[in-house]
Amino acid sequence: MKSKPRLYDYYLNKIHPDLCDGYNHPYEVPKLNKIVLNRGIGIGDKNMKVFESSLQEFQTITAQKALIHYSRKSIAGFHLRKKMPVGIAVTLRRHFMYSFLDRLINLALPRLRDFAGLSAQSFDGCGNYNFGLNEQLMFPEIRYDQIDQIRGMDICIVTSACTDREARVLLEAFGLPFRDF
């Protein structure tokens, strides 16, 4: 039997009981639903090696296979044809999600140079939080000599919270570092 991730146990034993005070029922307490990692790559058909290396990086970071997203229609101004590869995404749920968030908060974000915290303005109004990273080298699984180019990624943390305030309280309880403005 697999053991539960450390952050999931922390949520069940510490965060959930602390947040239960403001709600009528324990199922109303906000929780994490999923985490989506996304990378748009605009040079699609010209160099498939870029997609292969990005797929490998995402699999190394998340321990889950990434999917290639294809364009839906042709746009001549962007030199884009229908069904051309344009990006890569991974959706993390359950234990993969908690393991990734634990590594992001405790290992990856502290490795950023001049990191003052994440912006609190990146909530979408429905309790979800989005932010971008400029490089993949912050994750300890990625070695500098094995990458061909530094590329960023977008991360979306989807919660069951109804408001941004509830989501911020939940994410701060997990230890996500926000800048105070």
Question: What does the longest C-alpha to C-alpha distance in the chain come to?
Answer: 56
CA angle 63, 34, 164 (to 5 degrees): 140
Q: How confident is the model at residue 1 (pLDDT cuts 50, 70, 90)?
A: very low
Q: What's the mean pLDDT in 14-41?
A: 85
Burial of 73-110, coded b for 16+ CB within 10 Å and e otherwise, reads eeeeeeebeeeebbbbbbbbeeebbbbbbbbbbeebbe
Report the predicted TM-score, pTM, of the whole model to 2 decimal places. 0.81
Q: Which domains does the chain have, with CATH numbers?
A: 31-174 (3.30.1440.10)
- Encode pLDDT of 76-100 as tens digits: 776 667 777 778 889 999 888 998 8
What integer pLDDT is reported at residue 144 of this predicted model?
A: 65
With H, G, I as helix, E, B as strand and everything else as coil, classify residue 56. helix
Residue 22 clears pLDDT 80, i.e. is over it = no
Q: Amino acid letter at 33?
A: N
